């Protein structure tokens, strides 16, 4: 009998709390080629490879997230909970315009946290390096396009 493949499952948030945060704007090649088009910046970039932990119709995004995480770290809140609270904040759609007909959608699609790492910058402020997944294959806020688009 043939061995069955495991299906990748979209992870659910572990908290409904929201922490105000924002993507750190980066240039196309980041710190590798800082002088290459330095005025053009976006929120992150698509990964050009498939990840086994991400389902087929979702695409990996690599990004840095800045925010005021110090009070939560001092209260010994688990890092995963802080990261999910930040992703919940990024998933909230913008407010509807006064006479807008349609309800707004989230700017980056529905983001799901895959991996996170807490780092400290040169100024000592904490930030997250995140691997997220989104259902948008091509989004104007991220460099590149999802796996499979040429």
* Whole-prediction pTM: 0.85
- Rounded distance between C-alpha atoms, residue 100 and residue 89, angstroms: 22
Strands (E), 21-141: 21-23, 44-46, 59-67, 112-120, 126-134
Question: What stretches in the chain show pLDDT beneath 50?
Answer: none
Instruction: Please report, for the chain, the start and end positions of each structural domain, with discontinuous segments joined by +.
Output: 38-94+105-143
Q: Write out pLDDT tens, residues 14-36.
A: 888 999 999 999 888 766 766 77
Q: Write out pLDDT tens, residues 1-14.
A: 667 766 666 677 78
């Amino acid at each position: 009998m043939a061995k069955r493949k495991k299906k990748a499952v979209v992870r659910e948030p572990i908290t409904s709390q929201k922490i105000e945060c924002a993507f750190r704007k980066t240039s196309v090649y980041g710190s590798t080629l800082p002088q290459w088009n330095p005025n053009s910046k976006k929120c992150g970039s698509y990964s050009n490879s498939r990840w086994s932990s991400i389902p087929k119709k979702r695409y990996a995004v690599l990004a840095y997230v800045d925010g005021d995480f110090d009070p939560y770290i001092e209260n010994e809140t688990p890092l995963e909970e802080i990261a999910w609270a930040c992703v919940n904040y990024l998933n909230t759609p913008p407010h509807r315009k006064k006479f807008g007909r349609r309800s707004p959608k989230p700017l980056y699609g529905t983001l799901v946290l895959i991996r996170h790492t807490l780092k400290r910058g040169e100024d000592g402020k904490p930030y997250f390096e995140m691997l997220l997944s989104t259902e948008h294959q091509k989004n104007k806020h991220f460099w590149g396009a999802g796996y499979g688009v040429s």
